[in-house]
Structure 1
């Protein structure tokens, strides 16, 4: 997509792309909440039966997506570049971009999957709402997070095109660390207010919108066109490994110690990644 837009409009182009992609993440949880309410009315031996049915039904769109790729999406034309050597090209990437990848990786190690945010909201709401209703409200809060992301992705891209992509990304990382801090505080004070939790999910939607719209645009600004695809691959690898480590570590610390410690750890790592990104900005 990056070749189809000018450098001056990359932020809004990626913002529009992420907004369109996230629409599915809005409609899917809404359907899940509705199905969970319907399944609750069936006769089950325990509360888990309704959840199992909804999870099995979620397999259907996944299978349809695979079939759509196989049938509807043609293979793109590929022009090989035999002169491009992987390891030498990787070593030849700009040092500033390598520092940027390090900052993204540090932040990513704290950037837990937001399914854990859903679990956090469910856990906090169960004492006052019960298991099923707490899960439904948590699902709606996740929908709210996605609505926020859809609503702000394009405007964030426009602002970033005007004031600079990297400064806006730094601000987004600050919001990410704030989200983890607020979640830790919610557990510390046993918050069961839907309005407060909605505020946390609002921050989550904001920072994910910034992150997903601008990490790629900052990459495009730092590397040469000949190594852009490989640089995107490096960014994706760093993000993928970091997010796996993050979700696993937050889950383990939650189980072994407490959710306050888990989200506190995430906040510390995200803050460290923000400071590292700030240093890259000043290079």
Structure 2
């Protein structure tokens, strides 16, 4: 045989083998990915209905803003600590699915139990219980999602889950408004209806999600598990934490837009515009959660896409420090904010899954959630204090500096 013919046949054979391997490669959009995504949609739909009516429900019980702050602050704190503990615990289990499923059941029942509340104390107990369930399910759910796809599809899988979760948050306020109208503002009836999407979340997770057993369960103490996390992941947490110190709650954007538009449009119209801008924010959040993840699966380093999202936060902070007062400029700010949070949430999870071995995924996701929770709490207090004591320009300038520092650290991240 002529050498050229042999080479050609060899190349053709190699192409056939590669095509066969590609054809056999399972799709990232499988039962587990779809199940986790739909579960997030239904679950967020359920508890966001409750969140929408909770302030007015507390007023009807004779409780004011102080009680709302106590309830939400306590619930968020319990959720953060339970995520950290559950992350450690779930890595010690061969089967993570029962723990995650129990978290969804607990959140559903406790959220529905708000309908029985007759005092602010009852609301506190139900909300804290619901958020405890939310905490214990999160690290295990993310570990199951990471185990259900190949590492080159982490971005799309986590982006898809975040997209559907955000769609639930978009649909929930509309549903709450319809239920209020239908029930003649009977808050107990509205809260009871949260059981419908909540039960759908439990059933979806139970029947659709398939678990790959953890054949190498972790052992050792909590602090031993923390020390075992790769050095590159700890560096990643530092970058996330510094960025998070500036990553204020985007509900502050609603306040900023309302104040900026009031002189030209009046308080009522300004408030309506601000709500519309926040809806625009959530649309871009949902879209870029998936688009950012999709892009990260197609570049060599995921950190580049995450750093780009962080850099957009710097641009957003610069615009806010400039004190925009026109609707078009505010729309740009809200669009940038939506893109930032979409890319941030999808890429932080997918990059964490990439940096840490599968048997440590629970601990990694729990630690990441705890770092983000501390950042969320500290940043909103810090930015709010600077805004109130000095000026909004100074508050957003400091946030922008922290965003820039986080961006630089993320770009300098090296894999072990």
TM-score range, shorter chain: 0.7 to 0.9
Displacement after TM superposition at 1:85 (Å): 2.6
RMSD (CA atoms): 3.1
Displacement after TM superposition at 1:221 (Å): 0.9
Where does residue 107 of structure 1 map in the other structure? 243
Determine if contact 2:235/2:413 at 8 Å carries over to the other structure: yes
Where does residue 280 of structure 2 map in the other structure? 144
Determine if contact 2:314/2:404 at 8 Å carries over to the other structure: yes
Are residues 1:259 and 2:388 paired?
no
Determine if contact 1:25/1:143 at 8 Å carries over to the other structure: no
Displacement after TM superposition at 1:32 (Å): 8.0
Displacement after TM superposition at 1:84 (Å): 3.8
Determine if contact 1:33/1:139 at 8 Å carries over to the other structure: no
Are residues 1:225 and 2:362 paired?
no
Q: 1:69 to 1:95 in 2, by over 3 A?
A: same
1:171 to 305, 308, 327: 308
- TM-score relative to the length of structure 1: 0.82
Determine if contact 2:217/2:359 at 8 Å carries over to the other structure: no
Are residues 1:131 and 2:267 paired?
yes
Are residues 1:157 and 2:293 paired?
yes
Where does residue 318 of structure 2 map in the other structure? 181
Rounded Cα–Cα distance in structure 2 between residues aligned with 1:32 and 1:130? 26
Determine if contact 1:167/1:281 at 8 Å carries over to the other structure: no
Q: What is the CA deviation profile of residues 34-86 of structure 1, one whole-angstrom value per residue up to 9, with x for unaligned ones? A: 99xx9xxxxxxxxxxxxxxx9x96x8766644686579637989989573432
Gaps spanning 5+ residues in structure 2: where? 1-144
Q: 1:176 to 1:206 in 2, by over 3 A?
A: same
Displacement after TM superposition at 1:30 (Å): 5.7
Displacement after TM superposition at 1:131 (Å): 1.1
Q: 1:119 to 1:167 in 2, by over 3 A?
A: same
Larger Rg: 2
Where does residue 150 of structure 2 map in the other structure? 6
Secondary structure at the aligned position of 1:280 is classed as: coil
Structure number with higher relative contact order (C-alpha < 8 Å, ≥ 6 residues apart): 1
Q: 1:67 to 1:158 in 2, by over 3 A?
A: closer
Rounded Cα–Cα distance in structure 2 between residues aligned with 1:166 and 1:281? 9
Q: What is the CA deviation profile of residues 122-159 of structure 1, one whole-angstrom value per residue up to 9, with x for unaligned ones? A: 11001111111111100000000111122232222221
Determine if contact 1:29/1:140 at 8 Å carries over to the other structure: no
Secondary structure at the aligned position of 2:351 is classed as: helix
Gaps spanning 5+ residues in structure 1: where? 39-53
Where does residue 227 of structure 2 map in the other structure? 91
Rounded Cα–Cα distance in structure 2 between residues aligned with 1:203 and 1:72? 31
- TM-score relative to the length of structure 2: 0.57
